[in-house]
Structure 1
Amino acid sequence: MKDEHMAMSYQAEQPFKRLPLVLRAPLTARTWREFLYLQLNFPIALAAFIYSITMVAVGAGLLITFVGLPILAATLYGARLFGALERGRARLLLGLEVEAPRPVRADNRRGGVTGWTLSLFKSDTTWRHLLYMLVHFPWAVCTFVISLPLWLVGWAALLYPAYQWMYPTFWGQPGWSLISTPSHRIYLDTPFEIAVTCGVGLCVVLAAPWIMHAMTQVDRLLVKSLLGPSRLAARVTELEQDRGVVVDTAAADLRRIERDLHDGAQARLVSLAMGLGLAKEKVLEDPDAAAKMVDEAHGEVKLALQELRDLARGIHPAVLTDRGLDAALSAVAARCTVPVTVDVDLDERPAPAIEGIAYFTVSELLQNISKHSHARTARVEVWRSGSRLMLQVWDDGRGGASTDQGSGLAGLAERLGSVDGLLVVDSPEGGPTTVTAELPWRGRR
């Protein structure tokens, strides 16, 4: 029964959705939520305006007695509470998500209530909340006096043919009174006048949702600009997140280097030291055996040196430092199991840090191609576009790559984001895959 009811509801919705948006706009949930938002604007803004004007006037007047300071602090704190209410109302009725600003914290130099009050007064976010309470009131009055009559009169005129008969039956007049003076009255009672009234009402009802939507756009702008975190605060939060990514990445790299040294070169050097110790003991009594052990130790030294070179290349390859991205990426492409074409078009070299991130980004993408793509060919392109360093890695493999949480590309995207970079993956099932990376161009000093 439940499935049948859902199917019937779905079928009933389909004809409505086939109507042009201009015809169904008056009946959509968005229009009615925006209408409710505009009607709530006036009482809420009136209460906020009276509160802010009264409290600021009383607090400023009593500043000379030092009683005004806590009153002004309470006013500002109330403004922040009101801002939380308005953000919630905008989220519920307008679908507008505005991040809450950071809470006020006590001044580091002065703790307790005094430090908290000083921080409250120094917070630009708090003063923007108070400004919202002041400037929103006249706009709320404007939206209320426009939206309510527009909506009610439009529907009343549109539905006039349905209730026109009530005028002569219950109120003793032929119809809706258009003009009423002691000497002259005009009623809408003929079929033509009723039809014209209905047509005018239809036009108003169809236009009203767009007018109200335009008015709520102004409300959205006010809420976002005055009740959200400032650009500086948002930037600080973003940088803190990026710093966390950088710290985690650096710690992971250190753990990888430690593991590689412990399991690779260090183990070989320990084995080499033991072998040379045994050879030292046998050099007099069994020179042939000692020579064989020294020869084995020589081989171990070569392997240890090769592992150390590979490890150093993984930290920062010498070819990148000496010859730049073109030579370094060509070397990486030569080690890839898929034929790779490299095209680097740069007039100058970026900063070493950006160059290193670009190198390791391409290196990791080519490793993914070797391991997972089943591609026949691949291509790497590097160029500069204004203030951005652009990287693009393409392959004709099976596709399906994504930056979902837990994948290698997700970690790569986080690493690029830590330096204001960007990673975009276009990889439909069946391929091909195109990964585009952007990095800020920071010239060498």
Structure 2
Amino acid sequence: MPVRNALESLTLRPTVFLRSAWPWRSLAYLLGGALVGWATILVVLALLVAGTLLSVLVVGFAGFVATVLSGIVVARVERWRLQLVDFADLPDPHHPITEPGLRAWLGVRLREEVTWRELGYAALSAGLLCWMDALVLGGVGYTVLATLGAPYYISDEPLQNTFLIALVGIPLTVVLAYPVTAWAGARAAMARALLEPRTDERLVEVTRSRARLVDAFEVERRRIERDLHDGAQQRLVALSMQLGLARLELPPGSPAAESVAAAHELAKQALTELRELIRGVHPQVLTGRGLEAAVGEVASTAPLPVELDFTLPGRLPPAVEVTAYFVTVEALTNVAKHSGASRAVVSAWLEREQLILQVRDDGRGGADPGSGSGLVGLADRVAVLDGAVTVSSPPGGPTMLRAEIPLPADRQPGAGASPVPSRARASPRAQPQPSHGLVSKLGEERS
């Protein structure tokens, strides 16, 4: 089993431990700790003296801020030094700064808990640990110098005393490798306990990184949709028009006219499929007109009647609308493919600063949320926004999927907006569409 830190190296056989680099790494780590601690003392004293002598409020406050932020520098140096005695990774727990400028940087750093923990470590290092390092190093240095200087005492000391110094000093110098390594390992463990990210901080950062990935994914989806809409679709439209014009110029019934007519039909089919693909990637109606209009368009192509019951105060944040849209799409796809339902109802309203989305059907029920990846994917998508998905589907029905999506605190609809209820019923009989349109646009169920 490989040794990962100084404390684990103490469990090695003495011959292996003494021949390894761990004692020397520990000495280097303690020497660096003493130097960093003393340098911290000098810098902090200089800042405090400067603030006291100048007696200016602004300068004094700047000195206080610099003293607090000195912990960040000490912690960064310590994370680098820890590599000497601890191979485990110690990531920087600070949040990335998204806004430029010193003011934004200071505003974020001074509000972080980890900044104050780093200041506490800097104070501990300068007030206690560096002196402990110096004490251990002084003991090692004295023992080594006393042992190496033993021959010079031959003329001044009796032979038996000189022999005793050599007999005790040389093994003691070797044995000192153990307490030196033990103290270096304990010191590194204390530093790691103060400087490593807390579990809740890691969870927050994981949530934020997941949200950033989803945002980047949505941006890429919109770019693909825009490129397909403005590029490939326009070329297919032009091709279809050219084939239509060529078809008019050819003699009816001729082999060339039949070939052009077949090509014209294929071009129109490709154009239809491309439009459905674009709509499935990211529908333009969702960006332009909002969630209700986008869901209404999906309902109009469903192979069963879908009733909409929306009570929303206008537009919602884009991330919420996109998530709610794809939850509805996936839910209606499952209804059309598996439920055997004759109708479905999609409802949406705001409740306690969150969007409530429900999809109900009168099908056979018995849906198992854990049996396929479709519902799991819905739950994962909603969880990115700290939401939740629940499914109620007793045997014999009905089935109800409920998604609760919190609204961002800084992007909630205005309090002055009055909810506008909307009820609509979309039926494939009223608006003829191919029965497979919903599934082809929304993607095949992955269960």
Q: So what's the TM-score if we normalise by structure 2?
A: 0.45
Pick 1 or 2: higher relative contact order, CA cutoff 8 A, min separation 6: 2
Q: So what's the TM-score if we normalise by structure 1?
A: 0.45
